Amino acid sequence: MRERGSIFYVLFAAYCLLPTAYCPLVAAAELKIGYVDPAAILDNYQRTKDAEAALQQRHKQKQAELEERVNALKKLRQNAELLNDQAREAKTREIEEKSDAFKRLKTQTERELLRERNQMLKDIVGEINQAVADYAKSNAFSVVVDERFLLYGEPGLDVTDAVLKLLNDRYTTKKGKSQT
């Protein structure tokens, strides 16, 4: 009789504890999880491509300006060789001053372009993060993670293309409105 009583208590305890032990599993089944590849979004986002093209154009313009200054310095050096010693010395100082100014301008230009690129990337990454959050909210996702930190994910959980489409659609609409 004692054995039946102890079995009854074990079964009763298991019955009482089963719902609480099972509860996290039920809650986990209700989670909707997805993942994105931020690098793919960044690379394929039209705004990134347009911004990179504009930055590349600006870089070429700055490079042409710097090239003009280099050519001017070369001409000054060539002309200095034709002068007498006293005039050559004065011209050499002028060339050194212009050469130093050129180096400062080149460094400043590189920093300016780098700062501009970093700001552009910061803005675009912020926009991507906002689009991921908007997509997750509108599609009832509980969690969207970065693919770089994912050890395994079923391909059906990858929402990269959907977020990229959302971003490109928004950008096209915004770009169309600004051109009209």
Q: How many CB atoms lie within 10 A of CB 136?
A: 19
Residues 11, 35, single domain; the answer is: no
Query: Which residue is it, tokens 């060789």?
Result: 81
Residues 56, 22, single domain; the answer is: no
Residues 11, 99, single domain; the answer is: no
Residues 53, 92, single domain; the answer is: yes
Write down the pLDDT at residue 142: 94
What average pLDDT does this structure show over 45-72? 92
**Which structural domain, as residue segments, surrounds residue 3?**
1-30
Residues 65, 132, single domain; the answer is: yes
What average pLDDT does this structure show over 29-44? 91
Residues 107, 51, single domain; the answer is: yes
Residues 143, 75, single domain; the answer is: yes
Residues 88, 25, single domain; the answer is: no
What average pLDDT does this structure show over 123-135? 96
pLDDT at residue 40 is higher than 50 = yes
Residues 26, 36, single domain; the answer is: no
Q: What is the overall mean pLDDT for the chain? A: 83
Structural domain count of the chain? 2
Write down the pLDDT at residue 132: 96
Better-scored residue on pLDDT, 129 or 81? 129
Residues 6, 52, single domain; the answer is: no
Cα distances (angstroms) measured from residue 69 to each of 15, 63, 76, 93, 103: 86, 10, 11, 17, 10
pLDDT, tens digit, for every residue of 90-122?
778 888 888 888 889 899 999 999 999 999 999
pLDDT at residue 4 is higher than 70 = no
Write down the pLDDT at residue 17: 45
Residues 55, 5, single domain; the answer is: no
Strand 33-36 relative to strand 143-146, pairing: parallel
- Residue 65: CATH number of its domain: 3.30.910.20
pLDDT, tens digit, for every residue of 63-76?
998 888 888 888 87
pLDDT at residue 80 is higher than 90 = no
Residues 97, 167, single domain; the answer is: yes
Q: How many CB atoms lie within 10 A of CB 66?
A: 15
